[in-house]
Amino acid sequence: MDKHVDVISILWIVSGSLGILLAIFIFWILWGITFIPNIGYEASYILRLVATWVSIFLAVFSAPEIIGGIGLLKRKEWGRILVLVVSFFNLVNFPLGTALGVYSFIILLKEETVQLFAPSQEVKKS
């Protein structure tokens, strides 16, 4: 089960990183279009506004994927919970988000995996 958790964590980090890169790419493309000569003030203003807000939106939804993946790598319970939440929201991103979300649910909800993330209980000496 350890290998599956490592694979899931790396996939979520890669997915979040690609989302951040997409946000940067969209920002640069839309912002760059505003420098075309004779585009007009209104079009330039709207494109810059759209570039900013779409990039922020994508970055905000990609950051938890990276954070959750790092939490999984460190075997933190909060990382497992965060990835389960992110997996739920990514089920609508067909086909890759759906596949990664379902895979995450299957692995992270198994009892064996839950025990892997449970805090270790110290043995009481009596």
- Condensed to tens digits (0 to 9), the pLDDT of residues 65-124 reads 999 999 999 999 999 999 999 999 999 999 999 999 999 999 999 999 999 888 765 444
In whole angstroms, give the CA distance from residue 94 to residue 44.
33
Task: Count the alpha carbons within 13 Å of 31 in the hemisphere toward its beta carbon.
Answer: 11
In whole angstroms, give the CA distance from residue 98 to residue 105.
11
In whole angstroms, give the CA distance from residue 52 to residue 77.
34
Assigned domain for 24 exists: yes
Statement: residue 13 has pLDDT above 50:
yes
In whole angstroms, give the CA distance from residue 35 to residue 57.
23
Assigned domain for 126 exists: no
Q: What is the domain range of residue 25? A: 2-117
Average pLDDT over residues 21-28: 97
In whole angstroms, give the CA distance from residue 2 to residue 102.
18
Assigned domain for 84 exists: yes
Assigned domain for 122 exists: no
Assigned domain for 123 exists: no
Assigned domain for 124 exists: no
Assigned domain for 33 exists: yes
Assigned domain for 90 exists: yes
Statement: residue 126 has pLDDT above 70:
no
**Do 77 and 119 meet the contact criterion of CB atoms below 8 Å apart?**
yes
For the chain, the average pLDDT equals 92
Number of domains in the chain: 1
